[in-house]
A and B are shown apart, each in its own frame.
Chain A
Amino acid sequence: MIHFVILISRQGKVRLTKWYSPYQQKERSTVIRELSGLILSRGPKLCNFVEWKGYKVVYRRYASLYFCMCIDPDDNELEILEIIHHFVEILDRYFGSVCELDLIFNFHKAYYILDEILIAGELQESSKKAVARLIAAQDSLVETAKEEAGSISNMISQAI
């Protein structure tokens, strides 16, 4: 299973974290610190896997962002690379050539998309279209709710 997903920028800033195994707040920061040190220092031609504390971390760099997933040692590393790419492609379709800034300002949307791809650290959907349809349907639900709401809610919807 996937124990956690982390997106870190080239500078070591965290852009997204999702924990499927229990980690306390303190452990989370140590994990992120250790892994960003380990992964960011690796050269471009090296393999996309690092062994870490009995787990394996599969990472892949897209522009300035590193997508990292931590898995059990007997999981399929190559498949995880495909899952990462699957996620990135869906983000790309949703945002229209996604960039780091999209993920910073719309981080909650990135989480919504991830929640349609993974649950309990396991893959949920292999069709990009199906994910896009589900996200679109839920977004429109939110839109309708906003329109129905009064003037104050309008203010809120602008805010988010």
Chain B
Amino acid sequence: MNPFSSGTRLRDMIRAIRACKTAAEERAVVRKECAAIRSAISENDQDYRHRNIAKLMFIHMLGYPTHFGQMECLKLIAASGFPEKRIGYLGLMLLLDERQEVLMLVTNSLKQDLNHSNQYIVGLALCALGNICSAEMARDLAPEVERLLLTRDPNIKKKAALCSIRIIRKVPDLAENFLSPAASLLKEKHHGVLIAGVQLCTDLCKVSVDASNYLRKNCTEGLVRILRDVSNSPYAPEYDIAGITDPFLHIRLLRLMRMLGQGDSDTSEYINDILAQVASKTESNKNAGNAILYECVETIMGIEATSGLRVLAINILGRFLSNRDNNIRYVALNMLMKAVAVDSQAVQRHRTTILECVKDSDASIRKRALELVFLLVNDTNAKPLTKELIDYLEVSDQDFKGDLTAKICLIVEKFSQEKKWYIDQMFKVLSLGGNFVKDDAWHALIVAISNAPDLQGYSVRSLYKAFQTSSEQVSLVRVTVWCIGEYGEMLVNNVGVLEVEEPMTVTESDAVDVLEACLTRYSSDIATRSMSLIALLKLSSRFPPTSERIKEIITVHKGSVALELQQRAIEFNSIIQRHQNIKSSLVERMPVLDESAYIGKRTSSSQANIVADKSSQPSSTATTLKFPNGVAKPPAAPLVDLLDLSADDTSVPSSTSNDFLHDLLGIGLTNSPSSGIAPSGGTDILMDLLSIGTPVQNDTAPKVVSSNQGFAPTTKPVPTTIQVMDLLDGLPSNGSLPGSQTPVYPSITAFESSTLKIMFSFTKQPEKPHVNKIHATFVNLSSDAYTDFVFQAAVPKFVQLHLDPASSNQLPASGNGTITQTLTVTNSQHGQKALAMRVRMVYKVNNQEKSEQGQIDNFPPGL
């Protein structure tokens, strides 16, 4: 050891660091000190070890790495003297946390110190253990701590009690060992021990039901006595805070009583009187008193209190709410949220005051109050409350607008009794805080507008007006663009004017102006621009005079740097130039969006099984692809039929068409797989055309659009016709079907159990109507692979059956592969009797033979 390598004193180092004017200087000083400390460590310098650790703690506080000093802490702890241990334990708590493995090395020293004869050394060890022990250490040292709970010295007792709290938080299994010593702590007189003991009991109740039952039975009486004594106690200078003896003890006792009284009417009744006494007698002019009252109210709310006591509690909160101290108001709002569940009527009385708190200058109070207002909204007060909140939205802080708009949107969605009110409120929110409105809120608005035919004209005109003043609000712009695209002619022709509306004149080119502005404005994002492009395309067919101008706008964007825009512009340009004949049908108005499906999709983000709106009653006339030009009368737009490939019992020509349908109806879906590459194929355009918001393409976009003839969705499946068309590669100009019709039968799920699923699809040659080819597909739904899979079938006498060999006899688990097999079925009584079939599947799971059987009688008619 070199006595001259002592380096600087701690005080000098702190001074040197404080004297630094720049961060770089500070770093230099710290680097120098750390270097000195490192070399002292490597020389195993003992005399300055504690000073080095002290320095490292300071350096650590400044945020520099100090891991190299960890072992030195352990050495100090292992030393024999109290001063070394004191600084060593402090360093241990500061420089390490429970996740470091070094900590395990200290377990042995801790064990020795816990058994030390000096109470202060035991105290140090308990303190360190209580602050940083890990689960392993807790297990190892629990017996020591348990023993220390029974010593006579109050200093050690209280520390051991708090240390036990840490231990049972880390290892709840150990709770029962601490139960009886904890209960005996409640008989102590020393306040420190009592406080720690009560806290330990509270934590025991949290982790173990047995513990709370035990304490409820044995300690309730004692707790009431302690609380009565302390609250009636004469002036006690040692514990006095603002005229109250030991508010900390009060609060802890009240908290433990809450744990014991929760859901237990006997205990609740027993503590009723003392709670009433505390609630009515505690002075509320100082913070300490209010802290007790606050805890007392929470306990009254938490237990099975009498109604009188609850009234007392609510009154205290009412007083708190009108207090001028912000802290008191904050906690009142906080507690009223819990009180809503208990007595909503009583809280409603304070609604005006609470609403004022939403406008407070203090962000913490505003946030609390807004949460509370949200809980208070009901059918009767939704309108005035919404009005208040929306009025406030106009003047509120920017950082608060996000929370506020989210809550208003939720309220108006949940409590709207009439559509117009909902739409009006949403327009206000969009105009005032459109930049903060979440996507699903404005998507819901669009769905609602789409479902309200008599309000569509009103909506598009209101949006047009709102856009003139608030065009900087992103979601307002998007909704406006969408509505102009869909209902542009209602804007121009003033369709469906409501009485409340002021007359306005908008020309076709005004409408196009709006869209062009949205498309070209610097502030618009890609999604808004893409929506504008679609809207423009739609308008070009509705407003023939503007089509030339729209064509030019679209042409400009063929060179857009944004891939999405460029692609759309090129596709749309192609539609305009080469496919005039189908354009008008392509850009037909969106079918009515299904509200229930949309809500379902919002609630479960899983792929919703979208069933096209049955209530929309698609026209029963045979709809081929000959769409009427011009404006169709909603809601029986021909496209509805096109879309009405509901996924249930209908023919689904390709497995992806479900997704396709999903996209058609989906608004700005983000969960579908997006290919990122520009997909080719006509239907993509259709998908883009009809989807709103962020573009989504499935990389397996189906190339077929099938239309079903005369198909009413509620009836049993009928033969439908598939027609393959490539939109970009031309279509017969009359759009009628090719001459020969191939009958197509919908696929069926022939058999389904929890472990196995069989699908049948059918083909038939037109010239042999009684011969059916059935393609069976087998899917394993269980998590075990099947081997030696054999499919057997039996048919009625009038049917002949021929089975081709199966593609395999191994069926991988969880649908990771299929077996296919072709069946030829000849129905000799074709047209008179329907097909039926019995099936039996035999296979092996883990070499155990299994079989399943079933009857199939859901064959499509006509086979």
Contacting pair A77 B191 (CB below 8 A)? no
Q: Is the beta-carbon distance between B120 and A83 smaller than 8 angstroms?
A: no
Question: Known: A81-B291, A82-B291, A138-B120. Contact between A108 and B54, CB under 8 A?
Answer: yes
A48/B327 in contact, CB under 8 A: yes
- CB of A127 closer than 8 Å to a CB of B: yes
Given contacts A78-B327, A105-B14, A159-B6, contact A123 B246 (CB under 8 A): no
0 or 1 for each of B111-145: is its CB under 8 Å from A? (1 = yes): 00000000010010011001100000000000000
Check A124 against B329 for contact (C-beta < 8 Å).
no
Complex interface bits, A40-71 against B, C-beta within 8 A gives 1, otherwise 0: 00010111111100000000000000000000
Judging by beta carbons under 8 Å apart, are A124 and B327 in contact? no
Q: Are A124 and B162 in contact (CB under 8 A)?
A: yes
Q: Verify if A134 is at the interface (C-beta below 8 Å from B).
A: yes
Chain A residues whose C-beta falls within 8 Å of the C-beta of B86 in the assembled complex: 112, 138, 142
Contact A82 B248 (CB under 8 A): yes
Of B63, B158, B330, the contact of A125 (CB 8 Å cutoff): B158
The residues in A between 1 and 60 inclusive whose CB is less than 8 angstroms from any CB of B are 14-20, 22-25, 29, 43, 45-51
Cβ contact within 8 Å between A78 and B326:
no
Which residue from chain B places its CB closest to the CB of A155 in the assembled complex? B6
B99 touches A159 (CB 8 A): no
B294-A105 in contact (CB<8A): no
B199 adjacent to A123 (CB under 8 Å): yes
Q: Is A82's CB under 8 angstroms from B196's CB?
A: no
| A 87-125 binary contact with B (CB < 8 Å = 1; else 0) | 000000000000000001101100110010001101111
Q: Decide if A120 touches B166 in the complex (CB within 8 Å).
A: yes
Q: How far is the CB of B364 from chain A (nearest CB, A)?
A: 5
Q: Contacts A47-B326, A50-B364, A145-B82 given: A78-B248 contact, CB under 8 Å?
A: no
Residue of B nearest to A131 (CB): B192
Q: Which of A25, A47, A112 has the most CB of B within 10 A?
A: A47
Point out the residue from A20, A76, A86, A145 that lies within 8 Å of B81, measured CB to CB.
A145
Q: Which residue of B lies closest to A137 (CB)?
A: B120
Is the beta-carbon distance between B331 and A78 smaller than 8 angstroms? yes
Query: Once bound together, how far apart are the Cα atoms of A150 and B627, in whole Å?
Result: 106
Is the pair A46, B191 in contact by a Cβ cutoff of 8 Å? Answer: no
Chain A residue nearest to B294 (CB atoms) is: A78
- Whether A82 contacts B63 in the complex (CB less than 8 A), given A48-B327, A105-B11, A119-B126, comes out as no
- How far is it, in angstroms, between the C-alpha of A82 and the C-alpha of B700 when the chains are bound? 65
Give Cα distance in the complex from A3 to B298, angstroms. Answer: 22
CB proximity of A52 to chain B, nearest CB, Å: 10
Asked if residues B131 and A158 are in contact (CB atoms below 8 Å), the reply is: no
Q: Smallest CB–CB gap between B21 and chain A, Å?
A: 14
- Chain A contacts for B326, CB-based, 8 A: 45-48
Instruction: Check B798 for interface membership: any CB of A closer than 8 A.
Output: no
**Residue from the list B83, B131, B247 in contact with A142, Cβ < 8 A:** B83
B329 nearest CB neighbor, chain A only: A47
Smallest CB separation, A65 vs chain B (Å): 14
Choose one: B18, B48, B63, B327; the contact of A81 (CB below 8 Å).
B327
User: Which of B131, B191, B287 sits near A20, CB closer than 8 Å?
Assistant: B131
Complex partner residue of A49 from B120, B155, B291, B330, CB under 8 angstroms? B330
B253-306 with Cβ < 8 A to chain A: 255, 287-288, 290-291, 294-295, 298
Size of the chain B interface, CB-CB below 8 angstroms: 78
Interface size class of A (residues with CB under 8 A): 35 or more
Given the complex, which residues of A lie within 8 Å of B58, measured CB to CB? 107
Interfacial chain A residues near B362, Cβ < 8 Å: 45-47
| A126-B195, A127-B239 given; A146·B330 CB < 8 A | no
Once A and B bind, how many residue pairs between them come within 8 Å at the CB atom? 184
Chain A residues whose C-beta falls within 8 Å of the C-beta of B159 in the assembled complex: 119, 124
A contact residues around B62 at 8 Å (CB):
14
Determine whether B97 belongs to the interface, using a CB cutoff of 8 Å to chain A. yes
Complex CA gap A136/B764 in Å reads 100
Smallest CB-CB separation from A47: which chain B residue?
Answer: B326
State whether B99 touches A120 (Cβ < 8 A).
Answer: no
- B288 in contact with A159 (CB, 8 Å): no
User: CA of A118 to CA of B67 in the docked complex: distance in angstroms?
Assistant: 25
State the CA gap A160–B18 with chains docked (Å): 17
Residue B419 CB within 8 A of the other chain? no
**In the complex, chain B residues whose CB is within 8 Å of the CB of A46:** 326, 361-365
- Tell whether A79 pairs with B295 under 8 Å between CB atoms, given A49-B330, A124-B192, A145-B82: yes
Say how far A145's CB is from chain B's closest CB, in angstroms.
5
Q: A82–B292 Cα gap in the complex (Å)?
A: 11
- Any chain A CB within 8 A of the CB of B87? yes
- Is the CB–CB distance between B364 and A82 below 8 Å? no
Instruction: Say yes or no: A126-B249 contact (C-beta < 8 A), given A20-B131, A81-B291.
Output: yes
Q: Find out whether the CB atom of A17 lies under 8 angstroms from the CB atom of B82.
A: no
With A47-B330, A76-B295, A119-B131 already in contact, the answer to whether A104 and B155 are too (CB < 8 A) is no
- B336 CB-CB contact with A under 8 Å: no
Query: When chains A and B are docked, how far (Å) is the Cα of A115 from the Cα of B128?
Result: 9
Question: In the bound complex, what is the Cα–Cα distance between A79 and B242 (angstroms)?
Answer: 13
B238 on the interface (CB 8 Å rule)? yes
The answer to whether residues A79 and B131 also contact, given A124-B162, A159-B9 and a CB cut-off of 8 A, is no
Q: Does B50 contact A (CB under 8 A)?
A: yes
A64 CB to closest chain B CB (Å) equals 14
Q: How many Å lie between the Cα of A82 and that of B241 in the bound state?
A: 9
Q: Give 1 or 0 for each of B147-173: 1 = CB within 8 Å of chain A CB.
A: 000000001001100110110010000
Whether A107 contacts B61 by the Cβ 8 Å rule is yes
Contact of B3 among A23, A86, A125, A152 (CB under 8 A): A152
Cβ of B241: which chain A residues have Cβ within 8 Å of it? 82, 86
Whether a CB of chain A sits under 8 angstroms from the CB of B773 is no
Q: Kindly supply a per-residue 1/0 record for chain B positions 349-364, scoring 1 wherever the CB is within 8 Å of any chain A CB and 0 otherwise.
A: 0000000000001111
- Please report the C-alpha to C-alpha distance between residue A15 and residue B127 in the assembled complex, in whole angstroms: 21
Q: Is the CB of B82 within 8 A of A160?
A: no
- Complex CA gap A112/B123 in Å reads 12
CB-defined contacts of B54 to chain A, threshold 8 Å: 108, 160
9 tightest CB-CB pairs across the interface, nearest first? Answer: A78-B291, A47-B326, A119-B162, A119-B130, A120-B166, A159-B9, A46-B362, A125-B192, A120-B130
Q: A43-B361, A46-B361 are in contact. List 16 more A-B contacts (CB 8 A).
A: A77-B331, A79-B291, A108-B90, A111-B90, A112-B90, A119-B131, A122-B162, A125-B158, A126-B195, A129-B238, A137-B120, A138-B82, A138-B86, A138-B120, A152-B47, A160-B87
Cβ contacts A to B, 28 pairs, < 8 Å: A16-B61, A19-B97, A22-B97, A43-B361, A45-B326, A45-B362, A46-B361, A46-B364, A76-B291, A78-B291, A82-B287, A82-B291, A104-B14, A105-B11, A108-B90, A115-B90, A115-B127, A120-B162, A120-B166, A122-B162, A123-B195, A125-B158, A134-B155, A137-B120, A142-B86, A159-B9, A159-B48, A160-B9
Give the interface of B toward A (CB within 8 A): 3, 6, 9-11, 14, 18, 47-48, 50-51, 54, 57-58, 61-63, 65, 81-83, 86-87, 90, 93-94, 97-99, 120, 123, 126-127, 130-131, 155, 158-159, 162-163, 165-166, 169, 191-192, 195-196, 199, 238-239, 241, 246-249, 251-252, 255, 287-288, 290-291, 294-295, 298, 326-331, 334, 361-365, 367
